[in-house]
Structure 1
Amino acid sequence: MLGELLLTAGVLVLLFVVWQMWVGDIIIDAQKNAEGAEVVQQWAQAPVPEPPPLVEEPDGTTYYEPPILPHPADAEKFAVMRIPRFGDDYIKDIAGGTTRARTLDHIGIGLYTQSKMPGEVGNFALAAHRTTWGKPFNKIDKLRLNDAIVIETPDGWYTYRFRTLEYVKPTRVDVLLDVPQMPELQTGERYITMTACSPLYSLAERIVAYGVFEGFQPRSEGPPASLAHVDVAPPSL
């Protein structure tokens, strides 16, 4: 009798783990994408903001000066992330702070306290889970050179381009510096840094993805070309 009870308890624990790590993740992931899509739809239906000033370079090229948002409060949503490499339906909320209880577990992607904002000179630094709670950065290791990482706000779209990945110890907080890992250097460039735990289901290391800013497109001009669909090859057998 005791053996049967222990066997039943073991099966129940296994089923819970399966639910938490796979089935639950699928449901939460879809829910988070739906929430992000709803926010994007609201922005699309709102009055179009005035575009920022145009800047002209000496060679005659022009670009929009990216508007800089105020730093959000803890757990305050302020933008969504869109990465075509992860699918057309990948639309994840970004909020202030990186605590599990308030941001990472319940909202998705968190902004480090010392981070710069989208389009600002320095390092726009983010964190998210690779497993559980919808795992927003689960496919971070699938990014390819020049993949678009698009941050959408009510004003428009900030496009970054992926450059490289690396794995570091959790103590390597210098990846969050204005110029990652280079405390003495100031380049005047705009970077994005995305961090998550590695390997999967472990806290031993951090996987870090870096990108560089490409440009800002105001909502008055419609979605940027960087949001174009990306064909993702099926996994090899």
Structure 2
Amino acid sequence: MPEPPTVRIPKDFLRPGPPRKDPVRTVVRTVGEVLITLGLVTLLFVVYEVYWTDLISAGKQRDATSALDNQWKTKTEDAQRQDHFTGLGEGDGFAKMYIPSFGADYHFTIVEGTTEDSLEIGPGHYTHTAYPGEAGNFAVAGHRVGKGAPFNDINLINSCDAIVVETQNNWFVYRALPRAEEKAGWAEGKGKEAQCKGVSVLGGPYKNLVGQQIVSPSEGLVVAPVPGSSTAPSAGEQAALMTLTTCHPRFSDKQRLIVHAVLVKQWAKDSTKPNWTPPELKETA
């Protein structure tokens, strides 16, 4: 019998074909790559927002402090030790702020205005509010994260903690007011401590005022002469307050954290003692 014909099978036919794509693996891989990319972008943003902007603001703060120091050296002192805040432009430094409980190295130059550019320099004064030592409400805003973060820890300010403000001619000592839970029994309790001298539960138009509160961003009245009220007090009952405002919680602007303090003491500077500082600056933690 004749032999059957030889069947030649092409070599390519014997090679395995490309693996079939698994749609589930493809989706998982794609999602993973997207998440990694988003993570890197977020990390870069955090580094920029927290660290790089801090470096930029630190330089601007040093410049503002140097300019203020030079101004105080060259500007004619008032014989009555009165401070004058006329002619301030947006971003101009005019005072220094110390919070001794945050450590001896905590100090910032306060600048005029609360625009984004001003707050990149340091704490900014609400231009329509009082100035240091004046009756009314000396209100100051500051960043909590990035851009120097001067108000990062103001939630840690306790009642009676000092907030010291230095001007060309004076030192003003404000102390944080009692918190809501401390108001009842204040006079018999913490109010007896030596550090709390001059701090009391305020009455009259200020009866609802507390040392710390969290509000919505629309609550603009927290910097009013009577915080939380649109009614101006009479000259005889007007207190001298200081209010600090910042975003809350950290890394968010959904709310505002507010600290209220009252003026308890004023020290006039003595040109014959240029290195003297008030004893309140020694109240470091």
Q: TM-score, normalised by structure 2?
A: 0.65
Deviations 1:84-117 (A, max 9, x none): 12221112121111111x2012x11111121111
**C-alpha RMSD of matched pairs (Å):** 2.9
Pick the aligned partner of 1:23 from 36, 41, 51.
51
Structure 2: distance between partners of 1:112 and 1:22: 24
> Given the alignment of the two structures, is residue 227 of structure 1 paired with residue 281 of structure 2, yes or no?
yes
Structure 1: distance between partners of 2:35 and 2:218: 41
SS in 2 for 1:178: coil
The change in CA–CA distance for 1:48 and 1:68 in structure 2 (over 3 A counts) is closer
Of 8-17 and 133-142, deviating more is: 8-17
Question: What does 1:156-171 align with in structure 2 at a 5 Å threshold?
Answer: 156-163=170-177, 164-171=211-218
Q: Determine which structure has the larger strand proportion and give its number.
A: 1
The change in CA–CA distance for 1:11 and 1:183 in structure 2 (over 3 A counts) is closer
Alpha-carbon shift at residue 67 of structure 1 (Å): 3.5
Question: What does 1:141-180 align with in structure 2 at a 5 Å threshold?
Answer: 141-163=155-177, 164-180=211-227
Where has structure 1 moved over 6 Å in runs of 4 or more? 2-8, 43-48
Alpha-carbon shift at residue 188 of structure 1 (Å): 2.1
How many percent identity over aligned positions? Answer: 30
Structure 1 match to 2:247: 197
Deviations 1:134-192 (A, max 9, x none): 11111110001111111112213111111111011111111111111133241221000
The change in CA–CA distance for 1:228 and 1:34 in structure 2 (over 3 A counts) is farther
The AA in structure 2 aligned to 1:224 is P
Structure 2: distance between partners of 1:211 and 1:184: 19
Q: TM-score, normalised by structure 1?
A: 0.77
Alpha-carbon shift at residue 69 of structure 1 (Å): 2.9
Structure 2 match to 1:85: 101
Structure 2 match to 1:52: 80
Pick the aligned partner of 1:103 from 118, 126, 144.
118
The AA in structure 1 aligned to 2:41 is V
Alpha-carbon shift at residue 19 of structure 1 (Å): 1.6
For the 8 Å contact 1:193–1:209, the answer to whether it is kept is: yes
Pick the aligned partner of 2:266 from 201, 216, 225.
216
For the 8 Å contact 1:32–1:92, the answer to whether it is kept is: no
* Bigger radius of gyration among the two: 2
The change in CA–CA distance for 1:30 and 1:98 in structure 2 (over 3 A counts) is closer
Structure 2: distance between partners of 1:219 and 1:92: 19
For the 8 Å contact 1:148–1:159, the answer to whether it is kept is: yes
The AA in structure 1 aligned to 2:175 is R
The change in CA–CA distance for 1:10 and 1:205 in structure 2 (over 3 A counts) is closer
Gaps of 5+ in 1: 54-65, 232-237
Gaps of 5+ in 2: 1-28, 178-210
The change in CA–CA distance for 1:37 and 1:89 in structure 2 (over 3 A counts) is farther
Deviations 1:13-52 (A, max 9, x none): 2442342244336645765675576567657867994563
Structure 2: distance between partners of 1:33 and 1:103: 10
